[in-house]
Amino acid sequence: MEPNLNKFLHVLVRDVLSRSDGTYTIEAKRRDHRHLTALRDLGYVAGIELTDSAFRNFFATFETIDCPASVQKWVNDLGACVTWKRAAGLILRQLGEDSGVTRGEYVFIRDGANLHTWFHELGHVVFDRINPDHVAMLESEVKRHYRVRSASELEGGTAHPVTNTQCHPTEGIYLTMNGRHHGLDHSGKDAITDEMWAIMFGTYCSGLDLKAGVRVVVEKIVSSLSASIR
């Protein structure tokens, strides 16, 4: 693609990512731009919206990094299709207190992130492949063993993951586990079970404490995912 065209495409992608309102609509002020027709022909724009290819094109420009060997073992076992990228620029700024974020097959990881973060994001990558019955099973076991509450019901606030100071939780639904409150709906309401799974899978792979009932379901899901690639 012509460099100017590519540059403009990334301007459009940045607009949408900075807005983070869940829509892919091109900003009104850019809708008459002369490059739009070419981007439509290339499949990066449909009508006045960016397509998935537009985001992939942008994400692909970030530096690819290797995951730790212990994570790679899980990637292989689960047959996961994932490209690890170093969180930088706009993506890094948007991470806030998080250490990683998954966008399709791309996972962005902050420098110095702990193993738990890698496992957690790997959980997000494979979530769509989990049998819905298993997801329902996991949700009920998690709710049976851990407290899932709204921010207003939490006592004492949440510990900041880096500084460990107490901060007041922002609105949302939280899962309390091993003394920490994990936000469940920061990726949208329909992503609650996705987040629940990522937390449980990350905890399981890291060898941290997990209630037996939940562990059984996590192991069931893991073996079902592994079996599906053989």
Binding site for Zn ion (CB under 5 A): 195, 198
Contact 120, 198 (CB under 8 A): yes
Smallest CA-to-CA distance from 113 within 103, 102, 129 is with 102
**Choice between 122 and 198, CB closer to Zn ion:** 198
Q: How far is the CB of 177 from Zn ion (least distance, A)?
A: 13
**Choice between 177 and 198, CB closer to Zn ion:** 198
CB closest to Zn ion, residue no: 198
Q: How far is the CB of 187 from Zn ion (least distance, A)?
A: 7
**Choice between 45 and 113, CB closer to Zn ion:** 113
Q: How far is the CB of 186 from Zn ion (least distance, A)?
A: 8
What SS3 state is found at 36? helix
Q: How far is the CB of 42 from Zn ion (least distance, A)?
A: 32
**Choice between 12 and 175, CB closer to Zn ion:** 175
Q: Is 86 exposed, middle or buried (0-12, 13-18, 19+ CB in 10 A)?
A: middle
Place of tokens 């990881």: 109
**Choice between 141 and 195, CB closer to Zn ion:** 195
Q: How far is the CB of 27 from Zn ion (least distance, A)?
A: 28
CA dist., res. 25 & res. 76, Å (int): 36
CA dist., res. 217 & res. 45, Å (int): 41
- Greatest pairwise CA separation for the chain in angstroms: 59
Tokens of 41: 């022909």
